[in-house]
Structure formats: C-alpha cells, structure tokens
Amino acid sequence: MNNNKLGFLPPYVSWLTIALALLAIITFFAVSPSGVRYVTQMGTGGGMPEYAVDIKSVPPSPVGVPMMDASNRYYPYPYPNPEVPITDTREFLKVYYNATMRTRDVPTLTRRVETTVRGYDGRIDSESSSEKYGYVSFALPQAKYDAFRTELEGLVGKRFITLNITSQNLLSQKVSIEEQEMQANTALADYKTARQKIVSAHASAVAALQAKIDAVEMNLGLRVENSPTFTAQHDVWLKELAILTQQLADENASYAKQLSNADANIKYAQDWVKAVQTQDATLLANVATVTGMVSIQWIGLWDIALLYLPGYWIPAIFAALAVLSYRRDRARVRKY
C-alpha cells in the first residue's frame, strides 16, 4: 500500500504513477510547436549560388583603329538566354552540396569529413571546429562526387544528417559563349580578308604607278634635241614624273597606315577569340567542380530521443506507462 498523502489524489496512487504523469505533461509541452528549438546552421546557405558569367569578353577596340565598316563598329554582347530551345538537350550541371550532420563528438567528425574530402582529391577551402559546432567548406571533382557522397553520408546514421543539394544547368551561358565564339571567328576571318584586299589593291596601284613612272623616265632618257618644242615636252615629263613619284609615296604611306589598322583589327579579333575560349574553359572547369559545405553540430540526448521518437511519441509513452502504473496501483488495493 502506498503512503501518498496528497489530498487531491486517491491514497492508492503511487509516486511512480505521479512521476510518469508529470513526465508525460512536461514532455508534451516540450515537443509542442511552442517548445520546438530551432538550430541555426552557421556557415551554410540553403540557396543556390548564382553562377556569374562575364559575357563581355570582347577586348576594347584599339584607340584610333577603325573597324572594317560602320556596321561592325560595335559588337553585340549576347547575354545568357534562359529560353534555350528544347531541341538542345545538353546539360552542364553545376552541383552545390550542403549537408548538416549531428553528433556527440564534433571535433572527431569534423576531422573525418576533412579526411574524406581529401581522399577523393578534394580541396578544403575553409574549416572550423569547436566543442559544439564545426564546418568544412570544400570543392572536389564531379567525376568522384557519387563515391564521395556514399562514403560521407555513411559517417553518421540517416537520422543524423540533413541534405540540401542543388544543381543548375549552365546551358544558357554555354550557348551565349558559343554565339560569341562564332561572332569572333567570323570577325577574324573578315578582318583577314579585308587585309588581303588592302594588300592586293596596293600592289595593283603600285604596279600601275610604277609603269607610268617607267614610261616617263624612258621618255626623259631620250636624246635631248635643241628645239623649243622638245624642251617644253621635257619639262612636262619632269613635272609628270614628280607628280607620279609623289603619288607613289602617298600610296605607300596610305598603305602603311591601312595595313597597320588592318593588323590592329586582326589582333583585336584574335584577342576576342582567345577571351571567349578562356571563358568557355572556365565554365567547363566550373561545371566539373562540385562545391559544398558540411556543417557538424553537437546533439544532446533529448534531441537524439526526438529523432527516434518524433512528434508526441514520448509523452504518449509516458502517459501509457502512467496509466499502466495507475492500474497496477488499483489492482494492489483490490488485492489487499
């Protein structure tokens, strides 16, 4: 028989029944929405980092160097187009991996995460570890991503890890780069063609002028006759030779300037092609790299219990035990 002296309870209710009932009430309020404790994940971001692509890869036009013509004076910059046709089914997926692990030994688990990252040829970008919290920020090759996930997520039980994995198809950036590359290659070919035309036109002009000069010099080489008519014609030939010689000099000077401009334009287009190729290589390298962060948090025994018995399971169990204990108390009273 129980010596319960609480006036508002039957005398046969045991202290065990009272304790179980109190635990049921306390845990009920502890697991209710007003009693939920939220843990802030330091250093992790739930969103997807935006991949910034420098689409303005065209180098500035050389000062004082005109383009081929007015229509090509400024190149359009094709910005990434989200409306990529569905017929283009290529995928350039950039993966961002975030995981939160909960453990009773944060420093040890942090070291194990670092070892796992390095074991798959990964790179540690930043890390931190304390008694209650730790994190590891990393990057690793996409080719080893699946095997890495399998081993990493096996470090703790499934109840003790939360994943947030996002991916972004950079196809629109890839298409934009391809459009730029096509424009750059077309411009380079046009500039080379324009240069060849300048060279051909100069050669033709020089040949024509030189033929005229040779003809005049041949006339001047004739035997000089002592006659007013011949002397006047000789002076005409001298003036004509001076004019042709000046025209040849002007043609050479103009050609040198045009050729310099043409070479500058070609260099401009070559730099453009190189910049676009570098941009393409950067995008592919970015796609081939998985970036992420693993947060490690300390977990208490009560939180562990909630993981295995979520919701109102714990107060329900205590309540059931309290009922069973109460029945036992009554059964003992009837027995005596």
C-alpha separations of 52 from 74, 80, 98, 156, 172 in Å = 23, 10, 20, 35, 12
Average pLDDT over residues 142-162: 92
Choice between 139 and 237, residue whose per-residue pLDDT is larger = 139
User: In the 8-state DSSP scheme, what is residue 132?
Assistant: S
Question: pLDDT grade, residue 124 (50/70/90)?
Answer: very high
Distance CA 71, CA 304 (A): 70
How many angstroms separate the first and last alpha carbons of the chain?
Answer: 8
Helices of type H across the chain: 15-31, 106-119, 145-152, 171-220, 228-287, 301-308, 313-335
Q: Which pLDDT belongs to residue 220?
A: 73
Chain segment 285-320, per-residue pLDDT in tens? 999 999 999 999 998 776 666 555 566 656 677 677
Look up residue 83 and give its two tokens.
């409306």
Distance CA 87, CA 115 (A): 43
Q: Which pLDDT belongs to residue 95?
A: 95
93, 143 Cβ separation under 8 angstroms? no
pLDDT at residue 74 is higher than 70: no
Question: pLDDT grade, residue 26 (50/70/90)?
Answer: low
Distance CA 242, CA 239 (A): 5
Phi, psi of 82 (to 5 degrees): -70, -15
Tokens 């009932």 locate to 21
* Residues linked to residue 138 through DSSP beta bridges, in sequence order: 124, 292
Choice between 36 and 191, residue whose per-residue pLDDT is larger = 191
Average pLDDT over residues 243-262: 91
Question: pLDDT grade, residue 72 (50/70/90)?
Answer: very low
Q: Which pLDDT belongs to residue 214?
A: 84
Q: Which pLDDT belongs to residue 58?
A: 43
Distance CA 102, CA 41 (A): 11
Q: In terms of C-beta density within 10 A (0-12 exposed, 13-18 middle, 19 or more buried), how is residue 135 classed?
A: buried
pLDDT over 90, % of the chain: 45
Distance CA 235, CA 262 (A): 40
Chain segment 261-271, per-residue pLDDT in tens? 999 999 999 99
Question: pLDDT grade, residue 37 (50/70/90)?
Answer: very low
Average pLDDT over residues 202-211: 90
Distance CA 272, CA 200 (A): 26
Lowest average pLDDT, out of 19-23, 27-31, 52-56, 76-80, goes to: 52-56
Chain segment 38-59, per-residue pLDDT in tens? 444 444 444 444 433 343 444 4
Q: In terms of C-beta density within 10 A (0-12 exposed, 13-18 middle, 19 or more buried), how is residue 166 classed?
A: middle
Average pLDDT over residues 189-212: 92
